A and B are shown apart, each in its own frame.
Chain A
Amino acid sequence: MAIPTSVAWVLLALCCGQVLGSVGGPLKVAVAANFRAAFVVVGGEFERVQGLELAPVFGSSGLLATQIRQGAPFDAFLSADMARPAALVRDGLAAGPVRIYARGKVALWTPKGNASPMALQEGRIGLPNPKLAPYGQAAVECMQALGIWEGIQNRLVFGNNVAQVGHFLTAGSLPAGFVALGQLVSVDAPAERFWVCPANTHRPIEQGAVVVRRSPMAFAAERLLDFIAAPARQARLAQLGYAADG
């Protein structure tokens, strides 16, 4: 009798774990690499206020979107652009409409030199792949507007996303590169080491968020997006390297 009873207990525990895991477990959020530092701050606040645990996964938006298409168990997706979440909504994989949760700023970072676009006369320059990364696209537009794109085009080193370019710069492999301002705020870069592309030199970097349709915690995911969109958090994001909600 002893053995069947213990088996029953194990089964019961497994069932409970299953149920709790799908309902009360951490909210799994796919977050674009540029938003990592900001998400740690804002997400931490959410966990404290709402008492709900978050399990963020950081990566390039393209990869995260592909994973969601292949059935990755994410509840919400915070992309670096509007196009990828919009495509998920269009294909019935996410609930629309796409909400803008942040507006990015792109910066030129020279960890050891004085940052100025005019200092890009020589040496290689890190750029998030403009085909994949909205920050890379914005940096290209910015350099075109400044009229220096032609001169540096053949000295570019491409990162998969802003995080990889930041890593190349931190490792000392590159003297200069374009990253998200949000990354620099988190590493406390001194003001003379970076230069922010003026907003009028590139199209705005609007970052969109959606709730994944098959999420068993869609309600909680929706609450997270509401939380980030609230004026208090948007004001906080303005201190963390993102444009104030406009």
Chain B
Amino acid sequence: MAEDVLASLTLTAALAATTTVALLILAPPLAWWLAHTRRRGASLVEALVALPLVLPPTVLGFYLLLAMAEDAWLGASWHSLTGQPLAFTFSGLVLASIIYSLPFVAQPLTASFRNTPTELLDAASVMGIAPATRFLRFMLPLHRRALVAAGVLGFAHTVGEFGIVLMIGGNIPGETRVLSILLFDQVESLDYASAHLTAAILLAASLTALTLTYGTLRRR
């Protein structure tokens, strides 16, 4: 019982960490573009990014499952690229989580980027400070709080993912059986003792993550 929980805990942490790192690389350029573009299509892109907030996870899960089938476009191109299937694998879950958690990372960043004091950056640029230095010395410190919030929200939301994983995961131990799925299993098999343990871990971990974040944001 405890081994089950430990395996799922490790897997969940790995999934959330991979997703968060990927999102912290992908989301900032997108958020910067959304914050500063004046293009006509920008609202459509912004709506697409926010879509997972309002769509039932079953909608995403349904489309992803069909797209990841081995003869469908996504599954087939992934297979020819890596030689691995995408459906019912860890990689498939990472891809789904990136889509699902994107708004939680992109939105705080977009809001923060909209408040960038551009005069400061312009001044730095006029003074001949290199772009890389401008990024490290000005952008990162300016938006540190938003980056922390985005990272924690992305991580926590991936840990809390359930509907999509249920639809595309296949409940494979060590590969796709994350904590939320394990809990569902335990409840269905009426194993309430184990279910209590799993649920308590999820509750405590989420509460701790959020408290630490709000603490960090409050202090400075």
Consensus secondary structure, chain B interface: loop
In this assembly, does A58 line the interface, its C-beta being within 8 Å of a C-beta of chain B?
Answer: no
How many of chain A's residues touch chain B, expressed as a range? 20 to 34
How many of chain B's residues touch chain A, expressed as a range? 20 to 34
Distance in Å from the Cβ of B61 to the closest Cβ of chain A? 11
Q: A160-B166, A171-B66 are in contact. Are A62 and B88 (CB under 8 A)?
A: no
Stretch at the interface among B45-53, B147-155, B182-190, B196-204: B182-190
Contact B69 A172 (CB under 8 A): yes
> Which B residues touch A36, using CB under 8 A?
none
Contact B85 A124 (CB under 8 A): yes
Contact A171 B65 (CB under 8 A): yes
Interface residues of A in 164-192 (CB under 8 A from B): 168, 171-175
In this assembly, does A114 line the interface, its C-beta being within 8 Å of a C-beta of chain B?
Answer: no
Contact A158 B69 (CB under 8 A): no
Q: Which of A62, A124, A129 touches B190 (beta carbons < 8 Å)?
A: A62
In this assembly, does B172 line the interface, its C-beta being within 8 Å of a C-beta of chain A?
Answer: yes
Contact A66 B187 (CB under 8 A): yes
Question: Total contacts A to B, CB within 8 angstroms?
Answer: 54
In this assembly, does A48 line the interface, its C-beta being within 8 Å of a C-beta of chain B?
Answer: no
Q: A157-B88, A160-B171 are in contact. Are A172 and B70 (CB under 8 A)?
A: yes
Interface residues of B in 70-92 (CB under 8 A from A): 70-72, 75, 85, 87-88
Contact A157 B188 (CB under 8 A): no
Contact B87 A173 (CB under 8 A): yes
> Which A residues touch B75, using CB under 8 A?
173
Interface residues of A in 52-78 (CB under 8 A from B): 60, 62-63, 65-66
Q: Which residue of A lies closest to B184 (CB)?
A: A160
Distance in Å from the Cβ of A12 to the closest Cβ of chain B? 39
- Which residues of B are interface residues toward A (Cβ below 8 A)? 65-66, 68-72, 75, 85, 87-88, 166, 170-172, 185, 187-190
